[in-house]
Amino acid sequence: MPLILVASAALSLVSLAVLLTGGYLVWSWCEGAWIADQLGRPYLVREPWRLAVGLGLLAISFLGKWPVTLLLARPDASATRPVRSAGEEMASPTGSRLYVERHGPPDAPTVILTHGWGMDSTIWFFLRRALARRFHVISWDLPGLGKSHAASLGAVNLESFAEDLKFLLTITNGQPTVLLGHSIGGMVIQTLVRDHPGALASQVAGVVLVNTTYTNPLRTMALSRAAVALRWPVLEPLMRASVWLAPVARLCAWQSYLSGTAHIANRLGFGPDVARSQLEQTTLLATRNSQAVLAKGNLAMFRWEAEGALESIAVPVLILAGDSDIVTKLEASRVLARDTPGGELAIVPRANHMGFLERFDAYNPMIEEFCARCTGADPRRAAESVGVV
């Protein structure tokens, strides 16, 4: 999500400025100023406002996320949580070590979930719970994020991720499989189709692309002209600096998280109905993942292109788009639907880039119905709760 990550970087500088200003004011109050009275005797003067303002700014710097979350998001009706279950680590042919979780009946049709950039597989809390009643759900962390380890920073690119996804198709017990990806996850699926069309020939029964694009996301986000113009003079150097100065970038990210400025940046990816746990989880994941990896992934997306990759796809494709998505605008989904034979476009109202989480009540039924239609899943299993977490 280049737009959100760039906003996070900018707001982290604001957060750092608040911290430094608060620290300076408290220090200057402690130091005080020596002034001579009418008789020439020196005495120490401390200005109370410096202490009050300094302590206030420091409080914002380390405690701001709580009031910010309360102001920016609604109370939860059903809270999401970044929970894990018993997963396993698998060695991919790319050299990366993939963290994989399985849920639901192993003999059922399979759905492989590929998350968006900056997140990890815990972001599928609502969808995984819904699908695991009747499908074998495989969720994984992209290399370098969550609990997966990239072979190297050089392996953080869409071509390697597509190879990893191809490998995951070998662990589906031979069941008909639906590939589902959000944002960069949808881009990974398109890269798989582009580079390895044979991988979909026999086993893949359908594809779901959620709030994604077909090209460099700078070209299909809000303010795209400005983003493209700023790519080489600003965005590329910023991403490279995040790689070179990874420890500093990590400290800045955590300080921004504590101050709440990271929450403000991530709020840009939601619509009007975002709940507090959704905003908190999204911000937490984007913070605790390696800032160097995030920057490398952004650089890889800037160089990615797959327009027309789905023109010869032979399986059904469901394209889900939010009507208010500013990270991958609705026009990108329309192009995908236009270029995909038999592609189905569904537009969700009041949904931004993280609509699948915020509006899970709208996204999940459409996804479940499409997966059942493609794979012939047994409807009787919908009432079961085998392996649901």
What pLDDT, on a 0 to 100 scale, did the predictor assign at position 2? Answer: 67
Q: What is the pLDDT of residues 207-236, one digit of tens each?
A: 999 999 999 999 999 999 999 999 999 999
Q: Is the pTM of this model over 0.85?
A: yes
Under the banding of pLDDT at 50, 70 and 90, the label for residue 379 is low
159 vs 233: CA distance, rounded Å:
26
Domains of the chain (ranges, CATH numbers): 1-76+90-375 (3.40.50.1820)
One-letter amino acid at 381 equals R
Q: Identify the burial level of 88 via C-beta atoms within 10 angstroms of its C-beta, where 0-12 means exposed, 13-18 middle and 19 or more buried.
A: exposed
The string of pLDDT tens digits covering residues 22-70 is 999 999 999 998 888 788 888 889 999 999 999 999 999 999 999 999 9
Q: What pLDDT, on the 0 to 100 scale, is given for residue 176?
A: 96
State how far the alpha carbon of 117 is from the alpha carbons of 13, 199, 301, 303, in Å.
22, 23, 10, 15
Provide mean pLDDT across the span 67-93: 96
For residue 352, is pLDDT > 50?
yes
Our measurement of the distance from residue 367's CA atom to the centroid of its chain's CA atoms, rounded to an integer in Å, reads 19
Task: Tell which phi-psi region holds residue 351, choosing left (phi > 0), alpha (psi between -120 and 50) or beta.
Answer: beta
Please state which of the ranges 3-12, 187-196, 294-303, 311-320 shows the lowest mean pLDDT: 3-12
pLDDT digits (tens, 9 = 90+) for 183-202: 999 999 999 999 998 888 78
Give the pLDDT band of residue 381 (cuts 50, 70, 90).
Answer: low
pLDDT at position 383 is 43
Return the exposure string of 95-104: e unless at least 16 CB atoms fall within 10 Å of the residue's CB, then b.
ebbbbbbbbb
pLDDT, tens digit, for every residue of 119-163? 999 999 999 999 999 999 999 999 999 999 999 999 999 999 999
State pLDDT tens for residues 240-273: 999 999 999 999 999 999 999 999 999 999 999 9
Residue 335 reports pLDDT greater than 90? yes
- When pLDDT is averaged across residues 108-128 and rounded to a whole number, the result is 98
Instruction: Work out the pLDDT band at 3, boundaries 50, 70, 90.
Output: confident
